[in-house]
Chains A and B, each alone.
Chain A
């Protein structure tokens, strides 16, 4: 009888488990659960309860059912706090992929750019689809605006007047925040785009902080981003811009932002992977636009025009960029990127 039971038990175990497959993401979930335990252990009282509610909801633990307003409030609070600290303390490095759909006979155009933002400085290097640099542009309080065109091997500069780091402030209002986030990520699209007094004064950190805190995002779950189970915050249906922000569950800093503008044609989607760098001398050097040897200095319009001619949509040719509210060129313009338009 023993042998019968043993054999039957063996066969039963084989049959009972034959169709079982382990779920994907065991390690990711284990890491999240561990962080959750550590967070719960380190927090106290109400903070412990809040953190538990968030992680349960955000991790999609069975039984949590939905992502509660409490979870959103907690994540937003942590993200805002992290971005407040990151603004003055860390350099935001972004890899931006822009997909410009339904242009040029329905062909989508994808461009990439590397961007850095820190204090009153930002820099963007745009690449062709073949991975070659097309242009490199940047703004700093010290040197103003510089653009280097690799198409024509030229460069141009414009000194800013009245620019001070004290002007760096977060935009107010959700629509403004959304517009600024969008324009920050569009630095790589065309030279000068986004170089307005409002956008220029906001770093990526302050713009993201404004966007996250304006109440249009809600926790949507977890997704693996940059090797971590990031918390996904996505815009509510009534928000002025469709955006999704993934924040690190460890630091609560955004690690990816995706913005989709579909109100007009063509559809524009931008995805930015964000890395936060310490402001070491080596990292700060990334904010400076280098002018390669042999490149010729030309007037701004001459440097920018060949690039704009390759840009979807056709934009006014700039002869001067608005770098600070005090600049005369900034007055009376409501364009998202303020410039004095020349011939098209």
Chain B
């Protein structure tokens, strides 16, 4: 049965790449729970068109993750709900024990950027894409990516500065 073969092919692909895609999703959303939810939704969309799918599944899933994180997820209100939880978690992390260093803090601070800025930074620094490739994934101009990246990094520096003023930062 062709449908079974297709499903098996998708299973094999996910067996190899699902971990990496989950990490992308977690970085886009800021939490494991939200990342799994996001990846699940993206896989569901791929599954819907899998029989007729003719392309690179990883590219499709990456693009879907970003689009969902920027648009659908935010529109559904689920993201805001999770964001509040993440902000709470961040405050809890900034305790005097200071176990979270700046590298961890920067990742956690990603949730305070706009969804598009966050997606651009994840594509550039986690997926190691160029600005042009990131623009293709997000369906926007390369200049938009450059601008979002620059503003995102600036905002991260500001947030990290605030964080640096109020918390111990081992390794700095």
Contacts and interface: CB of A to CB of B under 8 A. Distances in A.
Interface of A: 1-2, 5-6, 8-13, 15-17, 20-23, 26-27, 29-31, 33-34, 62, 227
B23 A20 contact: yes
Contact of A12 (B23, B44, B103, B153): B103
A23 B26 CA distance: 13
Contact of B103 (A15, A21, A29, A34): A15
Interface string B11-31: 100100011011100110000
14 contacts: A5-B106, A8-B106, A9-B125, A15-B103, A15-B104, A16-B26, A20-B32, A22-B14, A22-B39, A27-B47, A30-B46, A30-B47, A31-B47, A62-B33
Contact of B121 (A9, A15, A26): A9
Contact of B4 (A10, A16, A227): A227
A85 to B, nearest CB: 24
B129 interface: no
B160 A5 contact: yes
A30 B36 CA distance: 11
Contact of B125 (A1, A10, A31, A33): A10
B40 interface: yes
Interface residues of B, number: 39
Interface of B: 4, 7, 10-11, 14, 18-19, 21-23, 26-27, 32-33, 35-36, 39-41, 43-44, 46-48, 102-108, 121-122, 125-126, 153, 156-157, 160
B153 A2 contact: yes
Contacts of A62: 33
B118 to A, nearest CB: 11
Contacts of B22: 17, 20-22
Nearest to A18: B23
Nearest to B33: A62
A27 B23 contact: no
Contacts of A1: 157
